[in-house]
Amino acid sequence: MTTETVPQNQRSLSTSAARNLATTTKTAPQMLGITPRYLLRVLPWVDLEAGVYRVNRRRGFILGDGLIGTYTDGSGGARVVAEDLREIVLLRELDSSMLSTLANGFVQHEVEPGEIIAGAETPPGRLHIITFGRAEKRATGQYGEDALLSVLGDGDYFDDGAWVRGEPTPYQVRALTPCTVLSLDHRMLAELADREPALRARLDAYTANGQGSADREHPIDLTSGHSGEPELPQTFVDYEEAPREYELSIAQTVLKVHTRVSDIYNSSIDQVQAQLRLTTEALRERQEWEMLNHPEYGLLNNVVPNQRVHTRKGSPTPDDMDELLTRVWKQPAFFLAHPRAIAAFGRECTRRGVPPQIVELFGSPFLTWRGVPLLPSDKLDLKGSSNSAPGTTNILLMRVGEAEQGVVGLRPSSVPDEVEPGLSVRPMGVDRRAITSYLVTSYFSTAALVDDAVAVLQNVEVSNYYDYS
């Protein structure tokens, strides 16, 4: 038996002794990985009676991702992915051997900032692919002024029309950053066409008819502004015979709780509910990441080529955001960006003296641009090259809702043992080790109903700072 030494000048019960009779006030378990998940909160949800969502569209032309992929060979040089040459209309139906022959004919060039990649002063009849870097496409405007057409980045190619016809590029492409460019001369295409009659026929037809229709949907014949009694055109609206179908995706885990814990350590916080709450939060975080990044249905991987915008200077400027708004001009709902990208945009606005307006949503202030709020999400990853720190990301802009032909979230209308919409917790029983198991499942997906429902600003740099002093 031990006795504690009591200070001679103590006149009352000490706080350390009093704590043995007191009840502590406890918080629920906290978790650093919980975010506001604004995408899940603002996206309209469609409740599915079945596990598949079919998006019926007017018949259109099949498009790829608009990029030609490249890879690094054993010697460190860049090579073209032969099958990706099918992005070019003329080459879409060629067999793989001819595509490989063309892919092997590309020559690599290293281009310094400010150097001309293609234009009137460069050799005519060349197909160029940017494998690394950023360049701007410029032309002369109607009144002789210099006009910026677009900014090109990794995987972009130009000009397939001039290459097929053996003509000079009708605009100028100048490097903004150090660029690695792969080029293919018209001569190789002509030599291959001389050996392959099928290619020669396609080449002659392509040259005679131009680059084909720019329409992305089959036309509906109409007439307007007429008078009298002309014969009216006859038409119909054709639908896709094999419309895209979105199956609900899934995120699951099995939560285990020992019965000893849930039996005798359950006051004043329910241990099972505390475990389930944090597990559910983790599933929802994964759900938001998948809805943005999944290779099949993720929004970042379902942006069509003409809805992609490259930053002109790297940092997200007001001009870049305006360009993004031209892609989703029909009722844009919100931008979605990494918090560091929003901070970078704020710095660019401060530098130009055009501070963005603030709007309050969900009880918090948000930056806006042209009245469209910028919502933060850390699920838009920061990336970098092998020689640099992570510092580039993407900014999404989208229109939402079925009635607006926008982006919608998908979930089942009901599932057994549902605790939240689309999320169920199913008891699996107690095993021979007295451990209770719970199957936690979330069903979800996302769909963009038409191509112009979502656009992306790519390769956004977030590491530029300014000295305002």
Q: Are residues 256 and 192 in the same domain?
A: no
* Contact (Cβ atoms closer than 8 angstroms) between residue 193 and residue 203: yes
Residue 76 shares a structural domain with residue 170:
yes
Residue 212 is predicted with a pLDDT of 46
- The CA distance from 110 to 123, in Å, is 16
Please count the structural domains in the chain.
2
For position 6, what pLDDT does the model report?
Answer: 67
Collapsing DSSP states into helix, strand and coil, what is residue 90?
helix
| Structure tokens belonging to residue 49 | 């009676």
Phi-psi region of 370 (alpha: psi -120 to 50; beta: other; left: phi over 0): left
How many angstroms separate the CA atoms of 309 and 160, rounded? 20
pLDDT at site 198: 79
Same-domain status, 141 and 272 = no
Phi, psi angle pair for 452, to nearest 5°: -90, 20
CA atoms of 386 and 183, how far apart (whole Å): 25
**Assigned domain for 28 exists:** no
Largest CA distance in the chain: 116
Dihedral sign of CA atoms 454, 451, 211, 133 in order: positive
The ranges of the chain with pLDDT < 70 are: 1-6, 60-65, 209-218, 384-390
pLDDT tens for 368-410 read 999 999 999 999 988 765 555 568 899 999 999 999 999 999 9
**Gyration radius (Cα) of the chain, Å:** 30
Q: In terms of domains, do 98 and 150 share one?
A: yes
DSSP state of 274: H
For 217, phi then psi, to 5°, come to -130, 150
Q: Tokens 């979105």 map to which residue?
A: 246
Among candidate residues 155, 186, 209, the one where a domain is terminated: 209
Among 209, 236, 271, which residue terminates a domain? 209
Asked if 279 and 453 count as a contact pair (C-beta separation under 8 A), the reply is no
Residue 214: what pLDDT? 44
Residues facing 245 on adjacent strands: 54
Each residue's pLDDT tens digit, 272-323: 999 999 999 999 999 999 999 999 999 999 998 889 999 988 899 999 999 9
Could you give the count of Cα atoms lying within 13 Å of 139 in the half-sphere of its Cβ? Answer: 7
For the CA atoms of 384, 390, 395, 400, the dihedral, rounded to the nearest 10 degrees, stands at 100
Residues 198 and 250 in one domain: no
pLDDT for position 64: 64
Residue-level length of the chain: 469
pLDDT recorded at residue 320: 95
Same domain, 313 and 438: yes
C-alpha distances in angstroms, 335 versus 245, 303, 354, 366? 26, 14, 18, 11
Q: Residue 13: in which H helix or E strand, if any?
A: none
Do 295 and 173 have their domain in common? no
Same domain? For 47 and 74 the reply is: no
CA 464-466-469 angle, to 5 degrees, is 170
Residue 417: which CATH number? 3.90.1690
Give residue 281's domain range. Answer: 38-51+246-461
Nearest-angstrom CA–CA distance, 121 and 82: 29
Query: What kind and span of H or E run contains 319?
Result: helix 318-327
Tell me, yes or no, whether 422 and 365 share the same domain: yes
